[in-house]
Amino acid sequence: MSARSAALPIDGRRFLIVGGASLVGSTTADLLLARGAGRVVLFDNFSFGSRDAVRHLVDDQRVTIVSGDVMRLPDLLAATEGVDGVLHLAAMMTISMDRDPWAGLDVNVRGAQNVIEACVVRGVGKLVFASSNAVYGYGPGVAGDLVEDTPFHAAGAPPAAILYGASKIVGEQLCRQAHQKRGLDYVVLRYSTVYGERQHYRAANALYIVETHDRIKAGLRPRVIGDGAETKHFVYVGDLARANAMAFEADASDVAVNVSGPEPVTTLQLVELVCELTGTSLRPEHVAPEAGKVRLTSGGAFRIDHAAAERAIGWRPEVGMREGLRRLLAWRDQAGAPAAAAE
Ligand SMILES: NC(=O)c1ccc[n+]([C@@H]2O[C@H](COP(=O)([O-])OP(=O)(O)OC[C@H]3O[C@@H](n4cnc5c(N)ncnc54)[C@H](O)[C@@H]3O)[C@@H](O)[C@H]2O)c1
């Protein structure tokens, strides 16, 4: 007897991206369409995402944009009808969780539950769930190599970051339970901080990039918090879109893997790289952390290991920080970056 395959090829298949009008959703939609997807439905309540992020897709006959809310199961049941694969992205991250933890927990937990329920009821072939390296937590306990069984650290970290990480842990476990009890095939991808074209102001760590660029464009010296030795680990959005597609295609299920860029950077290296790429003569100034602004700290240098992603779905990152930043800055210069106040 041959084991059932969990592989979902892209060509000719129908996909739903929940939270599709987003940084990750728009780039993944581009890739799925380029790989011959038969239909891509972008489902979003446009609370954060924008029609601008998906405007370039509307002329493609295979694309449908649906206004809906993950808090409403009927919206999801309608959107999942006839769908082969679902990518679940809709969520509130740390900064939004800090502003409104009530809504954040609703969207991240009940929203995930509703998406899973719709997938099971509609017999969706595979769910790819966007988790985060926030499942390892923040604060003094986080250092060294972060692998998939690294425990969650909460002590000494900002509550909003822990609520966000914990909500992603709950989402992952809801996927596992739906697999065990109801046979849903799923892959959890734990994204590190995403950056790239269509970058927004909602991810705390990516602010180091966009705020540096904004200050340089305004003729102001870029800022480095403290000595700048803090580690950050990013992943380029195009690499991440490939990981989403490969998670569908691979014969993998019931697994959670890290998706991170080639190497981590320090915040000082990051700011210096942005300076170098813009050609500015402005030199960074070191400043104290701003009161009231959420900062994602660690206990020392760390690296988010992505070897398990290669084993499970055959993925590894291809775009290094310098090239990814060059593409992001070029997009911001050409497209006219969104104003921070508008987010
Ligand atoms: N951006 C990062 O650095 C990062 C890092 C790790 C994990 N992630 C995860 O990746 C996913 C996508 O991130 P992104 O940067 O593209 O985020 P984003 O904020 O651009 O996208 C989230 C989308 O979900 C939509 N949404 C929010 N609430 C909704 C609701 N109730 N119903 C329907 N849609 C709703 C928003 O309008 C938005 O388009 C999220 O799940 C996030 O937690 C992101």
Residue 19 CB–ligand 1 contact under 6 Å? yes
Burial (0-12, 13-18, 19+ Cβ within 10 Å), 130: buried
Residue for token digits 């909460």?
Answer: 154
CB within 8 Å of 5: residues ≥ 6 apart: 251
Average pLDDT over residues 257-271: 97
Q: What is the pLDDT of residues 128-168, one digit of tens each?
A: 999 999 999 999 999 999 999 999 999 999 999 999 999 99
Domain ranges of the chain: 14-196+234-261+303-319
Q: Is the pLDDT of residue 339 over 70?
A: no
Residue 202 CB–ligand 1 contact under 6 Å? yes
Separation of 262 CA from ligand 1 center, angstroms? 23
Average pLDDT over residues 96-117: 98
284 within 8 A of 222, measured Cβ to Cβ: yes
pTM of this structure: 0.96
Looking at residue 342, what is its pLDDT?
36
Q: Which atom of ligand 1 approaches the CA of 24 most closely? A: 16
Separation of 92 CA from ligand 1 center, angstroms? 6
Separation of 89 CA from ligand 1 center, angstroms? 5
Q: How many CB atoms lie within 10 A of CB 13?
A: 21
Looking at residue 145, what is its pLDDT?
97
CB within 8 Å of 256: residues ≥ 6 apart: 131, 148, 172, 187, 188, 189, 190
Q: Which atom of ligand 1 approaches the CA of 133 most closely? A: 6
C-alpha count within 13 angstroms, C-beta hemisphere, residue 310: 9
Of the candidate CATH numbers 3.70.10.10, 3.40.50.720, 3.40.50.620, 3.40.50.300, the domain formed by 14-196+234-261+303-319 belongs to 3.40.50.720
Q: Is the pLDDT of residue 247 over 60?
A: yes
Residue 23 CB–ligand 1 contact under 6 Å? yes
Pocket test for ligand 1, best of 17, 24, 209, 258 (most atoms within 8 A of CB): 24
Residue 115 CB–ligand 1 contact under 6 Å? no
Separation of 76 CA from ligand 1 center, angstroms? 16
- Atom 42, ligand 1: which residue's CA is nearest? 91
Q: Which atom of ligand 1 approaches the CA of 46 most closely? A: 37
Looking at residue 338, what is its pLDDT?
57
- Atom 12, ligand 1: which residue's CA is nearest? 89
Strands (E), the chain: 14-18, 39-44, 63-67, 85-88, 126-132, 144-146, 186-191, 193-195, 223-225, 231-232, 234-236, 255-259, 265-266, 285-287, 302-304
Q: What band does 341 get if pLDDT is binned at 50, 70 and 90?
A: very low
- Atom 26, ligand 1: which residue's CA is nearest? 90
In whole angstroms, what is the distance from residue 187 CA to residue 110 CA?
A: 19
Separation of 17 CA from ligand 1 center, angstroms? 11
Residue 91 CB–ligand 1 contact under 6 Å? yes
Average pLDDT over residues 108-126: 98
Q: Which atom of ligand 1 approaches the CA of 205 most closely? A: 3
Average pLDDT over residues 304-330: 98
Looking at residue 336, what is its pLDDT?
64
In whole angstroms, what is the distance from residue 188 CA to residue 211 CA?
A: 30
Q: What is the pLDDT of residues 47-78, one digit of tens each?
A: 998 888 899 999 999 999 999 999 999 999 99
Q: What is the CA radius of gyration of the chain?
A: 19
**Full DSSP string of 88-103:** E-----HHHHHH-HHH
Alpha helices in 186-320 (DSSP H): 207-217, 237-249, 267-278, 307-313
Helix (H) or strand (E) holding 163: helix 159-182
Long-range CB contacts (within 8 A, 24+) of 159-162: 159/101, 160/94, 160/95, 160/97, 160/98, 160/101, 160/104, 160/294, 161/94, 161/97, 161/134, 161/137, 161/204, 161/294, 161/296, 162/137, 162/138
More confident residue, 335 or 33: 33
Residue 198: C-alpha distances to residues 65, 166, 246, 282, 327 (Å): 18, 27, 22, 25, 10
C-alpha count within 13 angstroms, C-beta hemisphere, residue 149: 0
Average pLDDT over residues 273-293: 93
Looking at residue 337, what is its pLDDT?
56
70 within 8 A of 7, measured Cβ to Cβ: no
Looking at residue 343, what is its pLDDT?
36
Average pLDDT over residues 248-252: 98
Residue 21 CB–ligand 1 contact under 6 Å? yes
Separation of 90 CA from ligand 1 center, angstroms? 4
Q: Is the pLDDT of residue 297 over 90?
A: no
- Atom 20, ligand 1: which residue's CA is nearest? 22
Q: What is the pLDDT of residues 200-230, one digit of tens each?
A: 898 888 999 999 999 999 999 999 999 999 9
